[in-house]
Structure 1
Amino acid sequence: MSLSFEHAQSVAIIGGGPGGYEAALAAAQLGAEVTLVERAGVGGAAVITDVVPSKSLIATADAAVAIAASGDLGVQLFARGADGKPLTPEIAINLSAVNKRLLSLARQQSDDMRSSLVEAGVRIVSGHGRLEGRDAVVVSTGPGGTDFDRIEADTLVVSVGASPRELPSAKPDGDRILTWTQLYDMKSLPEHLIVVGSGVTGAEFASAYMNLGAKVTLVSSRDQVLPGEDPDAAAVLEKVFKRGGMTLLSKARADSVVRTDAGVLVTLADGRTVEGSHCLLAVGSIPNTRGIGLEEAGVELTDSGHIRVNRVARTSVPNIYAAGDCTTFVPLASVAAMQGRTAIFHALGDVVIPLEQRRITANIFTAPEIATVGLQEKDIAAGAVNGVVHKLPLSANPRAKMIGIKDGFVKIIARAGSGTIIGGVIVGPRASDMIYPIAIAVERRLTVDQLSRVFAVYPSLSGSITDAVRAMHLVERTEGEEN
């Protein structure tokens, strides 16, 4: 169903990642004339070189772990040698085949997204786009920037994403010193992968390559992995990493990374050195906002180059919106997609629900996964909210026992007095799926008693959510407490 306009509204979008893609679909659905400019392919870096291939790699690592751990469930791999005696089979990882598959999946996803846009009536222009003033986009479509296409539009959306941050003393070469976009060219499993950076990206790849069978050293400048995340979740992950044989170097800032005859040499700020076969640099990202006409159009940027946006993804220029990792909002693909839709709804006069930090659900695809939503325990400690926390280990769950889960927990955060659920953390397999009912509770402001009345399948991992909120039944209630 389209809105009724005096004249057809026109929308031009730079960048076809999750934010640009969803903005294009929403605009087409509302009856606007839509042009999407994308240089690499629909889906952008998120689909082609980031989220889709990395999570596909992690899925392969999870499969390897499942096979290796099946002996605990009584399932044993068996082979008989020529002499009739049993052999001990080994799990082999064909990294070249793995990478070929995941890049194929990424391209297939990109093609499917492109088909959806074409079917919706979106015009797609391949090339490098930049703003020309406040009402047009100029696209360089020819080799060397020789051909141009000018697109005028009532509403402009910038969704250009971000690129891996590089260090002057650790230049990626695409062979031994790598960013996360360059990992998929490796033909074989690295003998010893040194991961510099213990944020989400570093932790995910360290977890994946460890479970694929590589020796991994994780260099963290902080005192724990995943700084800023739930400390209990980080502690579980560190325990799993150490049990798997990973070397964790905390409070160890990398000073330089150089090539050697045998591989790489990482020098730490305190003078220590670490030698390995490959090094992954996971030290953050830089928004792709330089040289695309933002400042000339009057769009306000931060010192880091991120586009300042409000809760409806609007920039300092009324008809220019921005979505995704290039903005000052949370850098998640799901958030970029929501920003893209919200921007279009606002620009074209549809119903808009401004984005709120408390509604955002995030997941870290390590093994085990770490999923979070809403306010966290640190917010209570900081005095931002008067809350109550209850944590239940997954090891107490009957379904977890059946499938051999030993690590993880469910943590519920509720407002003291009303029992309103304001946040949660889940650590465990498929935490990204399990967090959803807690996210609904946060969104709809359900209380622990209301969520406890929802039937959970027995036995199921989600039953731990029910058990946790039931345990919070006696959270003191006070008349007049906000609900």
Structure 2
Amino acid sequence: MADHTYDVLVIGSGPAGESAAMSAAKSNLRVAVIESRAHVGGNCAHKGTIPSKSLRHAVKQLIRYNSVSLFREMGDTRWLSYPRVLAAASKVIPKQVELHTEFYIRNRVTLHTGMASFVDANTVNVDSGDGAQETITAESIIIATGSRPYRPADVDFSHPRVYDSDTILEMQHTPRHMIIYGAGVIGCEYASIFSGLGVKVDLINNRDRLLSFLDDEISDALSYHLRDSDVTVRHSEEYESIEADDHSVTLRLKSGKRLKADAILWCNGRSGNTDKLNLEATGLDVDYRGNLKVSQDYRTSVDNIFAVGDVIGWPSLASASFDQGRAVASVITGEPCKPVTNVPTGIYTLPEISSIGQTETELTAARVPYEVGRALFKNTARGQISGEDVGMLKILFHVDSLEILGVHCFGAEAAEIVHIGQAIMSQSGAGNTIQFFLDTTFNYPTMAEAYRLAALDGINRINRR
């Protein structure tokens, strides 16, 4: 049994763990990372963000080929099976692994492979699975183990027709009809992907509208475009049971409905990966979903143990996890903590969605006098040229100060476009006003020009009063 001592030990090599390790190493601390997989990258690289977004990109290319008249002139429409598209999308994973492995080598961060479990607040045991054991001690320990799909006990996920958002990336057939239970971000993204492949989709939503945290207009637009893609959206439903046999799967809902399909994808919540850490040895507790509670500086109730990323719950975004990792490394090195706030939302449906700041519902509830500026992509030259004419940019701003209060985008490259608004909103004082977009010359034709059009629309609404 080998012994190892470090200044900082990170459990997990996803975005949060990696950024924490690299930041600590750059502060000349002796750092080690424990990763249960054979390769670094965590769920982000292997089961979540990277493979699902690569899959979406491949489907988007297929949709574009089948819908653009120029390509249609070259021959008939094309159909590709899910395994074939998945194989093409999966090619990015080894590239990500190679890239991120290089970070560990360059920064001289020691990597231990195996399952981590606490012995006490400063000591962790690593079981490599082949009988080898390592004991690691560290002054500070960062838990960045991420999350996994929540699996209720009464659903048989071992059945070949029942999938979650991890195992769907291993499906080796193309269902004609799929039920997606759970209409959160992941459920909506996969509904777009499978409908884009020509699969009939039933999307079951537990709530009365899709992604209710979004601005109502954006949520309505998503609902419309999913239905326009032949996705059947069923609101305010809860499952009673799931029955699967050799031929089909049947979802029984508490409303009395019975839906039959070729496969079901469960996308209803996630659980923190804490159950195998032996947290009892440290005195730490988790909530009912396995998530850890932390303070503003990402410290748990045990002074030298921190937690970042999906294992602490909201916002459960790779982008936020990267920044949380850097923030916790700053705390450990004695620098002021910069909590991660004002994170933009990026939802990779077809078309995609992104937003930052407040919604109309929030501003109305707070009695803030605001106005709206809109730019429809179909009215932009770049949208017309590229054929990406679905969607809009929406700016919410204060009637008196012209301060930008929220930016909401639906359509092509929304997750890229939103950062322009984010940059202006981050300026202090008079630097954050809609006037910036009226005074600034944008490249033409570009999608970014939508900001100028939206600003003009908003100012005109005020001037007409």
TM-score, normalising length: structure 2: 0.92
Report the 3-state secondary structure (helix = DSSP H, G, I; strand = E; otherwise coil) of the residue aligned with 1:64: helix
Which amino acid letter does the alignment assign opposite residue 26 of structure 1? Answer: S
**Preserved contact between residue 12 and residue 36 of structure 1 (Cα < 8 Å):** yes
Distance verdict in 2 for CA 1:174–1:90, change over 3 Å: farther
Tell me the residue number matched to 1:77: 73
Give me the whole-angstrom Cα distance separating, in 1, the residues matched to 2:240 and 2:389: 37
Structure 1 residue 110, shift from structure 2 partner: 1.9
**Preserved contact between residue 59 and residue 197 of structure 2 (Cα < 8 Å):** yes
Distance verdict in 2 for CA 1:328–1:195, change over 3 Å: closer
Structure 1 residue 462, shift from structure 2 partner: 1.1
**Preserved contact between residue 65 and residue 72 of structure 2 (Cα < 8 Å):** no
Report the 3-state secondary structure (helix = DSSP H, G, I; strand = E; otherwise coil) of the residue aligned with 2:112: strand
Give me the whole-angstrom Cα distance separating, in 1, the residues matched to 2:57 and 2:156: 29
Distance verdict in 2 for CA 1:458–1:104, change over 3 Å: closer
Give me the whole-angstrom Cα distance separating, in 2, the residues matched to 1:18 and 1:288: 15
Give me the whole-angstrom Cα distance separating, in 2, the residues matched to 1:167 and 1:155: 34
Q: Encode CA deviations 1:21-79: one digit per residue, 9 max, x unaligned.
A: 111111111111110000023111111011111001100111011112202xx553344
Which amino acid letter does the alignment assign opposite residue 127 of structure 1? Answer: G
**Preserved contact between residue 174 and residue 182 of structure 1 (Cα < 8 Å):** no
Give me the whole-angstrom Cα distance separating, in 2, the residues matched to 1:475 and 1:70: 36
**Preserved contact between residue 309 and residue 329 of structure 1 (Cα < 8 Å):** no
**Preserved contact between residue 199 and residue 226 of structure 1 (Cα < 8 Å):** yes
Q: How does 1:21-420 map to 2 (within 5 A)?
A: 21-40=18-37, 41-71=39-69, 74-79=70-75, 89-143=76-130, 146-173=131-158, 175-299=160-284, 301-350=286-335, 352-356=337-341, 359-383=342-366, 385-420=368-403
Matched, 1:17 2:14: yes
Give me the whole-angstrom Cα distance separating, in 2, the residues matched to 1:77 and 1:248: 34
Greater Cα shift, 254-263 or 197-206: 254-263
Give me the whole-angstrom Cα distance separating, in 1, the residues matched to 2:90 and 2:203: 25
Structure 1 residue 327, shift from structure 2 partner: 0.3
Give me the whole-angstrom Cα distance separating, in 2, the residues matched to 1:336 and 1:45: 12
Give me the whole-angstrom Cα distance separating, in 1, the residues matched to 2:448 and 2:159: 42
Distance verdict in 2 for CA 1:130–1:415, change over 3 Å: farther
Structure 1 residue 416, shift from structure 2 partner: 4.2
Q: Encode CA deviations 1:143-199: one digit per residue, 9 max, x unaligned.
A: 3xx432111112111001111011233221262100011112222321111111111
Q: Encode CA deviations 1:255-300: one digit per residue, 9 max, x unaligned.
A: 2221133221111111111111111000010111124133442435
Give me the whole-angstrom Cα distance separating, in 1, the residues matched to 2:26 and 2:180: 43
**Preserved contact between residue 356 and residue 406 of structure 2 (Cα < 8 Å):** yes
**Preserved contact between residue 255 and residue 267 of structure 1 (Cα < 8 Å):** yes
**Preserved contact between residue 162 and residue 286 of structure 1 (Cα < 8 Å):** yes
Which amino acid letter does the alignment assign opposite residue 15 of structure 2? Answer: P
**Preserved contact between residue 417 and residue 476 of structure 1 (Cα < 8 Å):** no
Q: Encode CA deviations 1:95-142: one digit per residue, 9 max, x unaligned.
A: 323222333322331232112112210000001112332222221123
**Preserved contact between residue 216 and residue 360 of structure 2 (Cα < 8 Å):** no
User: What number of residue pairs does the alignment pair up?
Assistant: 455
Give me the whole-angstrom Cα distance separating, in 1, the residues matched to 2:364 and 2:282: 43
Report the 3-state secondary structure (helix = DSSP H, G, I; strand = E; otherwise coil) of the residue aligned with 1:218: strand
Tell me the residue number matched to 1:454: 440
Structure 1 residue 474, shift from structure 2 partner: 7.1
Greater Cα shift, 43-52 or 310-319: 310-319
Which amino acid letter does the alignment assign opposite residue 50 of structure 1? Answer: G
Report the 3-state secondary structure (helix = DSSP H, G, I; strand = E; otherwise coil) of the residue aligned with 1:353: coil
Which amino acid letter does the alignment assign opposite residue 90 of structure 1? Answer: T
**Preserved contact between residue 6 and residue 32 of structure 2 (Cα < 8 Å):** no
Structure 1 residue 453, shift from structure 2 partner: 2.3
Give me the whole-angstrom Cα distance separating, in 2, the residues matched to 1:257 and 1:291: 28
Percent identity among equivalent residues? 24
Structure 1 residue 363, shift from structure 2 partner: 0.6
TM-score, normalising length: structure 1: 0.89
**Preserved contact between residue 374 and residue 457 of structure 2 (Cα < 8 Å):** no
Q: Encode CA deviations 1:324-380: one digit per residue, 9 max, x unaligned.
A: 111044110111111111000111124542222xx2012100011000112222221
Distance verdict in 2 for CA 1:75–1:45, change over 3 Å: closer
Give me the whole-angstrom Cα distance separating, in 2, the residues matched to 1:142 and 1:9: 23
Report the 3-state secondary structure (helix = DSSP H, G, I; strand = E; otherwise coil) of the residue aligned with 1:471: helix
Give me the whole-angstrom Cα distance separating, in 1, the residues matched to 2:192 and 2:206: 18
Gaps of 5+ in 2: none
Which amino acid letter does the alignment assign opposite residue 382 of structure 1? Answer: A
Give me the whole-angstrom Cα distance separating, in 2, the residues matched to 1:384 and 1:340: 36
Which amino acid letter does the alignment assign opposite residue 405 of structure 1? Answer: E
Give me the whole-angstrom Cα distance separating, in 2, the residues matched to 1:120 and 1:138: 24
Gaps of 5+ in 1: 1-7, 80-88, 478-483
Give me the whole-angstrom Cα distance separating, in 1, the residues matched to 2:332 and 2:281: 22
**Preserved contact between residue 19 and residue 324 of structure 1 (Cα < 8 Å):** yes
**Preserved contact between residue 373 and residue 456 of structure 2 (Cα < 8 Å):** no
Which amino acid letter does the alignment assign opposite residue 367 of structure 1? Answer: L
Greater Cα shift, 468-477 or 121-130: 468-477
Greater Cα shift, 432-441 or 218-227: 218-227
Tell me the residue number matched to 1:82: none
**Preserved contact between residue 254 and residue 269 of structure 1 (Cα < 8 Å):** yes
Report the 3-state secondary structure (helix = DSSP H, G, I; strand = E; otherwise coil) of the residue aligned with 1:392: strand
Report the 3-state secondary structure (helix = DSSP H, G, I; strand = E; otherwise coil) of the residue aligned with 2:90: helix
Which amino acid letter does the alignment assign opposite residue 231 of structure 2? Answer: M
Give me the whole-angstrom Cα distance separating, in 1, the residues matched to 2:367 and 2:241: 39
Which amino acid letter does the alignment assign opposite residue 99 of structure 2? Answer: D
Structure 1 residue 427, shift from structure 2 partner: 0.3
Distance verdict in 2 for CA 1:464–1:273, change over 3 Å: same
**Cα root mean square deviation, aligned:** 2.2
Report the 3-state secondary structure (helix = DSSP H, G, I; strand = E; otherwise coil) of the residue aligned with 1:326: helix
